Structure 1
């Protein structure tokens, strides 16, 4: 029950009900006030000459002097016949001269003369009602009728008639005795009841979509990542639904990416552990052999063991260096320092550097480019690292043949191609070769010395230059890596 009250529908309904009650109370108050004003206006207009007509009845009691006994009996008889009126005889200043009432009920012995004069001076177009003081109340004012009278032939006074006596003072009395007011109040009550029901139904229909969206979000939060909000409109709720769906899609992609990265992290840890453990075990083994058999080993054998230990430490140093370099690229700590440079000169220097190693393995390495190539923009040290890694990779996996570095200019960029005539890369392995430590088994088994990080580092550097390295390869025919740099 509390959940329903505490829901958006419950809160909106409660606010609407409170607002309706406040509006209803104000409306009832205004209605009653205006009804009473209208009744007072109508009563005063209809009884405008009542005092003048009654004054004729009292003339015999005022001709010579004030006959209080006769006046009192006449007042009594008239008030019995019409209990809605109260009669008072006033002097010219508003003081009470005669009345028929219990003296205890009279709260003031004089009334203000200003409303009386305003009433007597008013024409047919004057606004009504005009309220005068009620002698039976210290502060109430009521509609009245008044006429001047002559007392004893010389004293001026007024016959003051209050319209609506004590019996009709309260609103409840008016409601009790007014069919129009009771009927209007009843109609008003039904109107408010209908508005309340219509409002509650409307709010229920409006919040139904919100409840459906809440259910969908709850199911998504509980792990059902296939849940999506059905969007059927372009209003605020529709925009909210579309935003949630976009957020959910992005979140699902992020979760998948996190899972994939976690798998890659575990694979990385396993590969790093393997690549570190293998040379370390070799180093430890050869060192133990040297220590144990130091008296029995001849100089040639000892030198052979030391050479192997040196090769393994070099391999370890290179692996740690490349891991450190790759981690800095991942964290964007190694940002390229862009400057114009000649790519042709860089390629020529790099090829010359690898020529002795290539000739040692019987592989031809060469560079092909036009002499009028424009300068390119990039970090010359990083691009040299990319070329080194790609050429090293080509030499590792080419048993015999040619490694060629080609440069081709376009209006806005220069494309670099590193081609070899090696064993090639199977199609199923090509999407993964830029992953760190990914091994194409056939290639790795016969090409020791690589760390498995060269292509990953090269791709990260290319991406830092807003480029991408692409691969094209056919098994037993060769492989081509290509990327492009913007011209200066």
Structure 2
């Protein structure tokens, strides 16, 4: 009798276990079908779909992982769209910013070559052609830097560098240009060595781009460049007394292809400051800008000090 009771209990337990497994199997099949339907929907282009799951479901971990993969995929797709739009804008900008000065350059040189320009005007035409050629070179250099920075093959050669002497060597090439443009300059760099880990070419590009930005856009009569160590950071401040940057423009000043609409020259690619920010961040630095229109603009670049 006791044996029959035990067997009955075991049978009931086995039956309950079988029913439970069957219910779970049905539930898992339903969840897998929902996942398949969702993935088909995502594959069709609806990236906003997500696989819903309750924490105690057998497929919950798989659902969460697949949602992460879809989210990462959508992020990459969004970045590709932004890159594609940026490249499209670059091609439009290239068409205008390169073809226009190139056409002007060819026009002046052709006028001299064909003898259309009077002898007294030839020197003036050659000077205009020279300036246009330099503008083209500057623009092409920036484009090259931009594409190089955003290439998968781009890499920096980071090494410990004495920034004070390096900065002096970079700025000494600007002194004749400051004098030619009648731009008063104040340069303050400490004699004490200041060490940081940077890429030499990248750091040079940062300083040159920021100085060139002043020359091209600020309409300033004075530039102040100061290097100092504060706490555990090396700071480079580049300040001018030009037209400044309007407050609405400040938050966008480092964006790709962004050009201020007011108070600054239309000349330029809109890439220079974006390149500067990318270079700075790739070297674990940071860059900020403060400006009061018609009073001053100051860019501050900071790098961690490395002893």
Name the TM-score, length of structure 2 as normaliser: 0.82
1:249 pairs with one of 67, 71, 82: 71
Number of the residue aligned with 2:126: 306
What is the rounded CA distance, in whole Å, between the counterparts of 2:17 and 2:141 in structure 1?
Answer: 78
Match of 2:5 in 1: none
Q: Give deviations 1:324-383, integer Å, cap 9, x for gaps.
A: 233222225453333333322233333333233334444322223444353222233331
Q: Distance in 2 between matches of 1:234 and 1:464?
A: 43
Please name the residue that 2:43 is paired with: 221
1:244-275 Cα offsets, whole Å, 9 max, x none, are 22222222222222221111111000001111
What SS does the corresponding residue of 2:286 show, helix, strand or coil? coil
CA distance in 2, matches of 1:217, 1:302: 69
Q: CA 1:206–1:457 in structure 2 vs 1: closer, same or farther (change >3 Å)?
A: closer
Give, in whole Å, the separation in 1 of the partners of 2:262 and 2:181.
19
1:438 maps to which residue?
258
Highest Rg: 1 or 2? 1
Match 1:406 to one of 217, 223, 226: 226
Q: Secondary structure at the match of 1:441?
A: coil
Distance (Å, rounded) in 2 between the aligned partners of 1:210 and 1:382: 51
Query: 1:121-146, CA deviations, whole angstroms, 9 ceiling, x for partnerless residues?
Result: xxxxxxxxxxxxxxxxxxxxxxxxxx
Shift of 1:443: 4.9
Do residues 472 (structure 1) and 290 (structure 2) align? yes
Does 2:135 correspond to 1:286?
Answer: no
Q: 1:273 corresponds to which residue?
A: 95
Distance 1:338 1:202 in 2: 57
The answer to whether the 8 Å contact 2:220/2:243 transfers is no
Kept in 2: contact 1:340–1:378 (CA 8 A) = yes
Cα RMSD (Å) of the superposition? 3.1
Cα gap change, 1:359/1:314 in structure 2, threshold over 3 Å: closer, same or farther?
closer
Q: What SS class does the counterpart of residue 328 from structure 1 fall into?
A: helix
Q: Distance in 2 between matches of 1:337 and 1:433?
A: 27
Higher relative contact order (CA 8 A, sep 6+): 2
Q: Deviations over 1:429-457 (max 9, x none)?
A: 334333444322335536x4x44433233
Are the structure 2 counterparts of residues 228 and 338 from structure 1 closer, same or farther at C-alpha, using a change threshold of 3 Å?
closer
Q: Structure 1: 5+ residue runs without aligned partners?
A: 1-189
Is residue 165–residue 193 contact of structure 2 (8 Å, CA) maintained in 1?
no
In the TM superposition, what whole-angstrom CA distance separates every residue of 1:212-265 from its partner, at most 9, and x where no partner exists?
333322322222222212232156511112112222222222222222111111
Report deviation, 1:321. Answer: 2.8
1:332–1:209: structure 2 CA closer, same or farther, 3 Å change rule? closer
Structure 2 vs 1, CA of residues 336 and 205 (structure 1 numbering), >3 Å: closer, same or farther?
Answer: closer
TM-score, structure 1 as length reference? 0.54
Ranges in structure 2 where 5+ consecutive residues have no aligned partner? 1-11
Count of residues in Structure 1 that have an aligned counterpart in Structure 2: 296
Q: Following the alignment from structure 1 to structure 2, what is the Cα–Cα distance between the partners of residues 373 and 463?
A: 23
Secondary structure at the residue paired with 1:397?
A: helix
Partner Cα distance (1:195, 1:372) in 2: 79
> In structure 2, the residue corresponding to 1:445 is in which secondary structure?
coil
1:455 maps to what in 2?
A: 273
